[in-house]
Amino acid sequence: MGNKTAAGASPLGDTRRDQCTSNAGGIIMTLAFPNPSRSLDKMRNAVRFTGYDGMFEVPFLVDVRALVKSPVELRMSDSLETACLDTFDSMRNVIYAAAAKAYQNGRSAPYILTAADIR
């Protein structure tokens, strides 16, 4: 994960930035996802990742049921983490867009994304 390409770019591509309108006075804020890290939070049954609004860290969770294809995958604890993280990576742009929308709509942190949010 720490590998960098030319000019310090992430090997996963450009940093994704989504414009969001804050609920506080209609001010335009930039929600950025400069850190591609994500992890499976087994206690919350979700994949955890972080966005940033200026200097403020914005926590997000994606429910694992939004990332697996079948109920059988949910029961396969040995491969659940790999399946969820691989799916997260393949859907990263869609997930970031859903995160920006949830943030814009003013849900409370941590922002929890479900299948309805990302599909």
CATH for 68: 3.30.160.140
Cβ atoms of 67 and 117 closer than 8 Å: no
What pLDDT digit, counting tens, does each position of 43-79 carry? 999 999 999 999 999 999 999 999 987 777 677 677 8
Of 114, 15, 103, give the one whose Cα is nearest residue 64: 114
When pLDDT is averaged across residues 77-92 and rounded to a whole number, the result is 90
Mean pLDDT of the chain: 79
Cα diameter, the chain: 47
Q: Give the pLDDT confidence score for residue 106 in this predicted structure.
A: 79
Whether residue 49 lies inside any domain: the answer is yes
Residue 77 pLDDT: 72
**pLDDT above 70 as % of the chain:** 72
User: Is position 47 within any domain?
Assistant: yes
Check residue 28 and give its pLDDT: 57
Structural domain of 47: 13-118
Structure tokens given for 33: 């996802």
Q: Does 6 reside within a domain?
A: no
> 109: pLDDT confidence band, cut at 50, 70 and 90?
confident
Q: What is the total count of domains within the chain?
A: 1
Nearest CA to 88 out of 98, 102, 103, 78 is that of: 98
